[in-house]
């Protein structure tokens, strides 16, 4: 159960990071 919770937390953190990365990438493309 502890492992599952940790895995879920990691997935949430990764998804959040991926969303920010996409926003930054789109912003850079828009600037160019």
The tokens describing 25, both together, are 């990438």
CA-CA distance, 15 to 24, in Å (whole number)?
14
CA-CA distance, 14 to 23, in Å (whole number)?
14
Q: What's the average pLDDT block by block, 10 residues per block, for the chain (32 residues)?
A: 86 95 91 70
Q: What is the pTM of this model?
A: 0.54
Q: What integer pLDDT is reported at residue 31 of this predicted model? A: 73
Q: What integer pLDDT is reported at residue 1 of this predicted model? A: 60
């Amino acid at each position: 159960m502890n492992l599952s919770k940790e895995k879920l937390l990691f997935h949430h953190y990764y998804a959040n990071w991926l969303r920010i990365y996409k926003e930054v990438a789109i912003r850079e493309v828009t600037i160019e």
